[in-house]
């Protein structure tokens, strides 16, 4: 086991390198760049800004070429001004040198500063993590707590009226996009057109620090309720049907028939024998499910409920071509994803000791 974990941890290094290199090359190949964008703005304004002035907070576009002539927006501007802008954004160096500088800094978890927010990228990420963790963790936990018992009951009652109407309800929930359901929740319960029972912005109220510890818990749950519900509504279907099918598959196996022949009750057969085998893929998939919701499932929800999370930060950074933030969030996402994937594999071995990845690797 220790050798397997060490091997997986060592594999993270080349994987991170490959992903960062690939994305860096894509950025190089894309047209435009922060320097070209600033030069175009300066031309439109008559060219009156400097690195400490107007373009210091300008958003970045994809990295352009190394020479001054590579920037279409530099026409009519002095070479000295172009050189100052290139130096300010760090584009006065060759692409390869910029890449190695980025890697060297990332080893120290130094992601640089945002092009247009004038703040360290690490501060922006740390500031947004609580929102994304809250949405991802709560939605995943609730989905598991509801879907697993529901899937087990559907397996036991397979073909019954309960199975039919619950499958219909699940299919309807799955068919409704989470962002559309979020809008519906806002209209109904967040002051849209009917009731104003829930707040529409942030994770906490403005007076959060003045509340008691119990009041803080209630305030936090009050804010997180609607976004979590909007994310969860579409996640029930896959997990519920996976649980049902997994249990149905195990119930039909020979060892279940043997357990019944020994005189065990259906409940004893289900929870002593079937449960552990059927839950293997479901429990072990928890880290992957959390990563999926954490990274990809909350962007529109964050936007609709005015929550400043990592999803919205990454999207805004791509739109604004703020590449220090883009590469910083990419690094964190990739690193966390691979660590949780390792946790998922270890969970498989914990749930079922028969699985031994280390022995299979030889």
pLDDT along the chain (362 residues), means of 10: 82 89 81 67 53 39 38 57 70 81 88 84 88 83 88 88 90 84 87 79 83 89 89 81 86 83 82 77 68 65 84 82 85 83 76 63 54
Q: What is the extent of the structural domain holding 27?
A: 2-121
Shared domain check, 227 and 110: no
Shared domain check, 338 and 316: yes
Tell me, yes or no, whether 360 lies in a domain: no
| CA-closest candidate to residue 319, choices 291, 335, 299 | 299
pTM of the prediction? 0.71
How are the residues of the chain apportioned to helix, strand and coil, as percentages rounded to the nearest 5?
70, 0, 25
Shared domain check, 327 and 282: yes
229, 223 Cβ separation under 8 angstroms: no
Shared domain check, 131 and 33: no
Shared domain check, 158 and 111: no
Shared domain check, 233 and 165: yes
Shared domain check, 148 and 272: yes
| CA-closest candidate to residue 227, choices 183, 196, 288 | 183
Tell me, yes or no, whether 361 lies in a domain: no
Shared domain check, 204 and 75: no
| CA-closest candidate to residue 62, choices 318, 339, 355, 357 | 318
Tell me, yes or no, whether 50 lies in a domain: yes
Shared domain check, 191 and 85: no
Last residue of a domain, one of 121, 141, 163: 121
Element (DSSP H or E) covering residue 137: helix 121-156
Tell me, yes or no, whether 61 lies in a domain: yes
193 contacts: CB under 8 Å, gap ≥ 6: 187
Tell me, yes or no, whether 362 lies in a domain: no
Tell me what pLDDT residue 57 has.
40
DSSP labels, 140-209: HHHHHHHHHHHHHHHHHTTTSHHHHHHHHHHHHHHHS-HHHHHHHHHHHHBSSSS-B-S--SSSS-TTGG
Last residue of a domain, one of 90, 121, 152: 121
Shared domain check, 168 and 32: no
Tell me what pLDDT residue 353 has.
66
Tell me, yes or no, whether 93 lies in a domain: yes
Shared domain check, 350 and 329: yes
Q: How many domains does the chain contain in total?
A: 2
Last residue of a domain, one of 93, 121, 149: 121
Q: How far apart are CA 177 and CA 179, in angstroms?
A: 6
Residue 56 in tokens: 């210091």
Tell me what pLDDT residue 162 has.
92
Tell me, yes or no, whether 49 lies in a domain: yes
Shared domain check, 104 and 206: no
Tell me what pLDDT residue 61 has.
38
């Amino acid at each position: 086991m220790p050798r397997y974990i060490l091997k997986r941890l060592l594999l993270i290094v080349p994987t991170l390198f490959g992903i960062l290199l690939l994305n860096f090359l894509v950025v190089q190949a894309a047209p435009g760049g922060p320097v070209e964008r600033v030069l175009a703005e300066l031309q439109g304004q008559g060219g009156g800004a400097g690195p400490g002035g107007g373009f210091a907070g300008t958003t970045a576009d994809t990295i352009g070429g190394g020479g001054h002539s590579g920037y279409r927006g530099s026409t009519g501007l002095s070479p000295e001004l172009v050189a100052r802008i290139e130096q300010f954004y760090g584009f006065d160096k060759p692409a390869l040198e910029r890449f190695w500088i980025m890697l060297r800094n990332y080893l120290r978890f130094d992601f640089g500063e945002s092009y247009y927010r004038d703040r360290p990228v690490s501060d922006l990420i740390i500031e947004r993590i609580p929102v994304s963790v809250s949405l991802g963790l709560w939605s995943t936990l609730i989905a598991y707590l509801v879907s697993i018992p529901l899937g087990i009951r559907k397996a036991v009652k397979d073909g019954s009226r309960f199975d039919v109407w619950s499958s219909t309800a699940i299919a309807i929930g799955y068919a409704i996009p989470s962002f559309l359901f979020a809008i519906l929740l806002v209209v109904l319960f967040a002051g849209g057109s009917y009731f104003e029972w829930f707040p529409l912005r942030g994770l906490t109220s403005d007076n959060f620090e003045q509340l008691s510890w119990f009041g803080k818990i209630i305030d936090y749950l009050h804010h997180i309720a609607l976004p979590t519900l909007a994310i969860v509504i579409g996640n029930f279907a896959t997990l519920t049907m996976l649980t049902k099918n997994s249990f149905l598959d195990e119930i039909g196996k020979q060892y279940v028939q043997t357990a019944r022949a020994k005189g065990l009750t259906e409940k004893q057969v289900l929870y002593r024998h079937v449960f552990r085998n059927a839950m293997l893929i479901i429990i072990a998939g928890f880290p992957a499910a959390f990563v999926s919701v954490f990274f990809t499932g909350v962007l529109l929800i964050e936007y609709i409920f005015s929550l400043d999370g990592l999803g919205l930060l990454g999207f805004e950074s791509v739109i604004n071509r703020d590449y220090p933030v883009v590469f910083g969030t990419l690094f964190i996402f990739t690193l966390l994803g691979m660590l949780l994937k390792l946790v998922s594999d270890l969970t498989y071995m914990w749930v079922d000791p028969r699985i031994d990845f280390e022995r299979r690797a030889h």
